[in-house]
Amino acid sequence: MLHDVQNHARSRALRAGQHARSGPFVLRFDPRWASPYVNYAIPDDGAAPTAAEVDALVQAFRERDRRPRLEYLPGCARQAEPALLAAGLLAAARVQHTGYGEPGDPDIQRIYAGTGYRVVGEKLNISLPE
């Protein structure tokens, strides 16, 4: 299920008006809104990015005047986080992620449990510091 959730997020990013690929990453951009919540990248399943691929990812964001940021389920690309951290990106948040696609807190988990949804893994938000 973890990979299904990540594939769904990746396919939504690919349907965004402005998207691109950079190495093993899908990038989603909103040219009208600089919010980091709509401008982010997702690594491919099993991605093991090189330093050069991470540099190219950062450059793609900078070319669009956006802060480099990723939002993904690290269980789908375990080797991505060490490469991103080595390039100076910081883990901003780790939250539980439900099968519904929303970060979970105890109330959300209780509600989802009553409707059949469950936590499928950890979601990681990682970005360059401002």
How many angstroms separate the CA atoms of 84 and 35, rounded?
Answer: 20
Please write the tens of the pLDDT for every residue from 25-77: 999 999 999 998 889 999 999 999 999 999 999 999 999 999 999 988 888 89
Q: Which residue has better confidence, 122 or 14?
A: 14
- CA–CA distance, 16 with 8 (Å, rounded to integer): 13
**Residue 116 pLDDT > 90:** no
Closest listed residue to residue 22, CA positions, set 66, 86, 74, 75: 66
Question: Which residues is 71 bridged to in the sheet?
Answer: 125
How far, in Å, CA of 47 to CA of 50, rounded? 9
Write down the pTM of the prediction: 0.76
Whole-number average pLDDT of the chain: 82
Distance CA 66, CA 57 (A): 11
User: Between residues 65 and 6, which one has the greater pLDDT?
Assistant: 65
Higher pLDDT, 15 or 122: 15
As beta bridge partners, residue 20 has: 27
What does the pLDDT read at residue 2? 67
Q: Identify the band that residue 101 occupies on the pLDDT scale cut at 50, 70 and 90.
A: very low
Domains defined for the chain, CATH in brackets: 2-127 (3.40.630.30)
